[in-house]
Amino acid sequence: MLSSEVGDDLTSAYVTRVPLLAGANPYVTLYDGDTPTGYASLWQVDWSTHGSGSVLVVWTPAGLRVVSDDPRLGAWIEEHFVRHFDEARALPSWPAARVERAAVELRVDPATGAYAAAAGLTVGITGPLDARPFAMADFPLRGASHGLSMQIIPCAHASITIDGRAVPGVPAVTWPGGRPSSSAITTVHEAWSM
């Protein structure tokens, strides 16, 4: 086969993508035994088709809260991404969201973890165990193929508090094949395309 034919074959299989978002998305699910007690998704959006800013999504059996300094961005993050992730879909329920406008303090540090605070909610993710790149050219989300790349940092510890009261539970940490896996993750350099 001629090299120009190889190029033609590769070109015909290539899917052109449009950038959607760049930033970071640390997240955690807390468990009491096998029962999920809390879930949080923290978004540091450096750039997106819906603007930039911070979003904090927190679920407990008592309900769902979405807080953002930009409610339009917060609604898009919850609707397009969070509610469709495996972690959210595995929860017993995911009610309709109402976005609260409030300043979100968010720090993401690959060496130490992540911290977010807004409107009586705080989330901490600490104790990095590993750092590894992740990329998926065909990540199914909302019935459509998305591109996703990021650095994943599984962490040992996490907490969620609501109005000063700690949500019970801890992250699930396992070591399959000697490699750490956790339900508490810090991500950096996260990029989505469609």
pTM for this entry: 0.91
Q: Which residue has the tokens 């699930």?
A: 172
Does the pLDDT value for residue 44 go beyond 70? yes
- Summarised one tens digit per residue, pLDDT across range 84-106 is 999 999 999 999 999 999 999 99
Confidence of residue 83 (pLDDT cuts 50, 70, 90): very high
Domain ranges in the chain? 16-193
User: What sign for the dihedral angle of Cα 45, 50, 53, 55?
Assistant: negative
In whole angstroms, give the CA distance from residue 133 to residue 187: 10
- Summarised one tens digit per residue, pLDDT across range 124-165 is 999 999 999 999 999 999 999 999 999 999 999 999 999 999
